[in-house]
Structure 1
Amino acid sequence: MKPKDTFILVVNPIAGGQDKANLTQQVKDFTARQEVSLIEYETTGEADEEAIKKLFDEHNPQRILVAGGDGTIKMVAEALEDKDVIIGVLPSGSANGLSVDLNLPKTIEDNLAIACKGDYVEMDMVDINGKKSLHLSDLGVNAALIKNYESGRVRGKLGYALQIINTLTDLDDPFWITIEANGKKTTSEARMVVIANTNKYGTGVTINPIGKFNDGKFEIIILKSLDIITIGKILAGNIPVDDNEDVEIISTEEALIVTDKPVSFQIDGEFYGEEDRLRVKILHRQLKVAVPAKPENIT
């Protein structure tokens, strides 16, 4: 008898502020129909990477299904970065930016078909001070927004909307940044600096119009000394980034980013404290991710 495939389902129970019981049951039903053996794991926030590595070594799965937001996907990707396995994304976080860039559908049913049986692409990862990023990381305003969101009580899109107002109301002064990349040094005042492997935030805002997630490069987007209204419009997607003279984009394989003071910093939707020095490099085609078809930004 042909052996069954084995998948691991990683569920973040608090991602997006939504109960995952219905999603988990749908995954069970779908994989049962496909005669796939399903191993379930629910994250706790403690030693999750080690637990996932252990499950992988025990079961040698063909695919890892991830039900959560960008931060959960990042955690799984870090745990399995040296493993030959396809990650199937079941977006269920507050902001699912990677799923937007991968052109994943809206419904659980359609996403299950892709996560379990779809084609895959090989994605780059970005190493930032030894930490890995799949999607978008940044210094400044958006990282402060994520810090406020994580400390707030309201989850989901409403929680983000409320914290945008709070963050812009209490906006810090601009900071100065020096970037060494491509043999050049750039110094500028900034409100926000994005390290981008992909194009869009989960809200659909295109922050990196030139990026391709497997071209062996990442982009640094500098949002300079903009006023509060302009920043709000950019974060809301009402002003294209590439049409603004106060935005500069640098495409590179590695960079050193230094600020004149510690600045709020986030990776893939998770706040990582304040930083004043980031050493960044690309990790080319490190990860297999299930997709409906080859996206346009594949080289």
Structure 2
Amino acid sequence: MHLIRTFFLGALALVCLVSAASALQLEPYKDDLFGYTGVLKTGDGGDYVVVDYNEMRDINGRDQVPERRVKQNYVSLQPKRSQQDLIVTTDYGPVKVMATGKLDGGASVITIYLHGQGGNRQQGMNDFTFGGNFNRLKNLMVRNDGLYLSPDFTNFGEKGEAEVAGLISHFKSQSPQARVFVACGSMGGSLCWRLAQDTRAAKNISGLIILGSLWDDHFIGSPSFKRRIPVFFGHGSRDPVFGVDKQEAFYREIRGSAKGYPVRFHRFENGNHGTPIRMTDWRTTLNWMLSVAP
């Protein structure tokens, strides 16, 4: 009888733990400042959204120094208290990474930002550029017992993929219950798609956030696709690097390849290459991913 009762209590605790993880939602933080000012169009049951973007309002009206320093009311430096610049030893060598949040393990959610060509680990930790949007992401992680990571990596190919996969494995082992979301800006997207096809890494990733980036038809049928991890696309309609039409076509391809696949596309009308990094509503996006992630 004692063994049955012990087993029942253990099973109940496990169910409660799983339920708590699946019910996780990030608490509001400066939603009035970072929420979309206007939505021009919606479709696909709300998965496709055209967002009104205006440089005079969304850059000049938001920044103290346009594109260099956001106004102070958009920023809280609370995450600085736990922020560290680390060198993490992985199976693929040392990786430099800036981190803030639950570094001692037990994180509820882990978000990783992978920079594009010419960037570095400091880009994703800058509190004042991109309209303070990285600062908001840092605050969302810190205030919800999460962990935020912004690493360096050797390249956008096999070596870089291995380094990021090793970094994910390291922090996932410390917080095994955490959902891991990987956000990739511009050329960083090539690493997102490579990780999606990596059998080992795919088991640890719960969602991909593709910001002003490229597409990869090999994602369809990949281990991540088979797990049905959610994918979010943010793209500017005037992006001169990666055309919005091709990215939208890829979004449609994913939708058509598996019924009900969790994929969203936010098009920033008149937005440029870096607009999705500035404008994407992190809380809405991550809460959607938390609600549908495997």
TM-score using structure 1 length: 0.32
Query: TM-score, with normalisation over the residues of structure 2?
Result: 0.33
Of the two structures, which has the highest relative contact order with CA contacts closer than 8 Å and spacing of 6 or more? 1
Normalized per residue, the structure richer in helix is 2
Considering fraction of residues, name the structure with more strand: 1
